[in-house]
Amino acid sequence: MKISKLLLFVVVLSMAFSASAQTIEDGSRKTIGYISSGGTVENASRSTIGYINPNGMIEDGSRRTIGYIRENGTVENGSHTTIGYISSNGTVENASRSTIGYVSSNGTVEDGSRRTIGHASGVKMEHAALFFFFFFYKK
């Protein structure tokens, strides 16, 4: 009986660790979302609000295509119009190539003025940028 309780504890602990290791936070460190390693995007209440598929397709919670990220870092909306770029060094640019933000390798997300607007933990830089592009700062 002790072994099964210990095993259950280890499973629950590892699940809790993996969930918290893939978080998106706002500038004040309040959790605003999660991105799983499989690309499922959730809000702070753990409701699925979208998907970032391995092929670069970005979908909303109803599985409608809302955008794409290409291998070269080009970000497109659902109509294949380029709306921005994410460079390998974490610079986020709009369609006019003006810098609108930065995502550092340590997970800090900054706006164009270098003010911290978020944090990503255990999430790919591109996915953190896409979270802010498509799911958090909708314009």
Which tens digits make up the pLDDT trace of 38-78?
Answer: 889 999 999 999 999 999 999 999 999 999 999 999 999 99
Q: Where are the beta strands (DSSP E) in 4-135?
A: 23-26, 31-35, 40-43, 48-52, 57-60, 65-69, 74-77, 82-86, 91-94, 99-103, 108-111, 116-121
pLDDT, position 14: 31
Q: What is the mean pLDDT of residues 74-92?
A: 91
Q: What is the mean pLDDT of residues 97-126?
A: 89
Q: Which are the contacts of 75, defined by CB distance < 8 A and separation ≥ 6?
A: 67, 68, 69, 82, 83, 84, 85, 86, 130, 133
Regarding predicted confidence, which is higher, 76 or 9? 76
Q: Is 38 left (phi over 0), alpha (psi -120 to 50) or beta?
A: alpha
**3: its two tokens:** 């072994």
Instruction: Report whether pLDDT(88) > 70.
Output: yes
How deeply is 30 buried, as exposed, middle or buried, from its count of CB atoms within 10 A (0-12, 13-18, 19+)?
exposed
pLDDT, position 135: 75
CA gap 36, 138 in Å, rounded: 21
pLDDT, position 138: 56
Q: Could you report the per-residue pLDDT of 10-47, keeping only the tens digit for each?
A: 333 233 333 445 899 988 999 999 998 888 999 999 99
Percent of the chain past pLDDT 70, that is, above it, reads 82
Q: What is the mean pLDDT of residues 95-120?
A: 90
